[in-house]
Amino acid sequence: MSFILADSMSFLGWANTVIALLGLCASIFALIYSRRSNHAASEANHISREANRLAEQAVKMQEEESQTRVVVKPHMTCIIGDGEDSRPRPVVEVINLSTFPVTISKICWKTNRAEKAWFYWKNPTICSPFGQLPARLPSHESLTAVGTPSSFQSLEDLQAVTAAVAFTASGEQVEGMTNEWKEEVGRIIRTMKAS
């Protein structure tokens, strides 16, 4: 009987060893699949974050497309021709960068003065094809407004200008100033003071 008991004990030891080895193998396989699952989950999280970033960009682009984007660029020019006054005259270019048409209702001049903060620009010549204000400006097109040499009543008025301002039919005001304008006004003032 002791022989059978010893034999069954060695059999149990052997069975426990086999079961332990099988458990170890199962643990190793579980660990491998767990690592693969973690890697796949990490990749899925990365893809999800990237998709969220792209969605945010798409929303931002959509918001930007719905905004009015107009650029206003004043400068001076001289028109030379038969019977033309060759003195510098103000010119304002209004560019519609929006993805939709924008109606420009008027163009004014903003000043640095407290008592007279605006100069209303009376009857600037609006170049073709628009002809007059208000003008409906198609997407990615521009209009040019040209004044006369006497658009400003004095050198002080000219020097007080801080921006050209385009008003849209929807009530927006878009200001613009260029270095070209500042340099030309400075040259005009120096020339007038020297003479």
Query: What pLDDT score was predicted for residue 5?
Result: 46
57 and 84 assigned to the same domain: no
pLDDT tens for residues 132-141? 889 999 999 9
What's the pLDDT band for 168 if we cut at 50, 70, 90? Answer: very high
Strand partners, 125: 146
What's the pLDDT band for 80 if we cut at 50, 70, 90? Answer: confident
Whether pLDDT at 144 is above 80 = yes
pLDDT tens for residues 47-76? 888 888 888 887 777 666 667 789 999 999
d(CA 140, CA 73): 15
Q: For residue 167, what are its two tokens?
A: 């008003």
75 and 167 assigned to the same domain: yes
Share of the chain above pLDDT 90, in %: 29
* 10 vs 170, residue with greater confidence: 170
CATH number at residue 84: 2.60.40
* Residue numbers of the domain that contains 53: 1-65
**Secondary structure class of 119 (helix, strand, coil):** strand
Last residue of a domain, one of 65, 81, 107: 65
94 and 164 assigned to the same domain: yes
Query: What pLDDT score was predicted for residue 87?
Result: 83
- Whether 142 and 127 have beta carbons less than 8 Å apart is answered as no
- pTM (2 d.p.): 0.66
How high is the mean pLDDT of the chain?
83
